[in-house]
Amino acid sequence: MVTDTFRIPTRTFTDPATVRLINTAYLTEPALAPLADSDAERAILEALEGLTSSRRAPMARPAGVADDELLTQAAGYGWSYVNAAFCYTRTGGNRFNDETRGAWYACWGPDAAVTAQREIVFHLTRELDAVGVYENRTAYRELVAGFTATFHDLTADRGAP
């Protein structure tokens, strides 16, 4: 089913501290950080390292994700985690997207951390159900991201597909 997005109302959303939990297997601190005394020094080291690093190549992405939809390194620490949310898809999709593109989703409000935990429980349970094994230990890190943007507002149409 294709939805005409121009018919969905929009609203401006601002929250300086939305919460998303990321599996720590996918999260690493900047490797050069211990070698620098300041962010400026680290930027110099990263620029030098980047001259020969294949990790600096553009991120592979689904056909529907345009260059101007992705953050650049100028966005600061964490930019690649945001991009990865859109670029790495999952067969069968997720609750908020199909398998043609990923989605960044984060929780907001006074219970943001609890809601994020419940989201992880939902997805992890689905994966454990698929393999039929329920012995698992996974560590997550809380990412806090601020947003000020205009988004489609689906709250008035809760029963829609």
- Contact call for residues 108 and 19 (beta carbons, < 8 A): yes
CA–CA gap between residue 155 and residue 53 (Å, rounded): 44
* pLDDT at residue 43 in the model: 82
CA-closest candidate to residue 21, choices 137, 142, 112 = 142
> Could you give the 3-state DSSP secondary structure of residue 86?
helix
Percent of the chain with pLDDT over 70: 86
Q: Which residues of 58-70 are buried (b: 16+ CB within 10 A; e: fewer)?
A: eeebeeebeeeeb
**Alpha carbon 36 to its chain's center:** 27
For residues 114-129, give the mean pLDDT.
92
49's enclosing H/E stretch is: helix 39-50
- Contact call for residues 1 and 161 (beta carbons, < 8 A): yes
* pLDDT at residue 24 in the model: 81
Q: What is the pLDDT of residues 49-85, one digit of tens each?
A: 767 665 555 667 777 777 787 877 777 777 778 888 8
Q: What is the pLDDT of residues 4-37, one digit of tens each?
A: 667 788 999 999 999 999 888 766 666 777 888 8
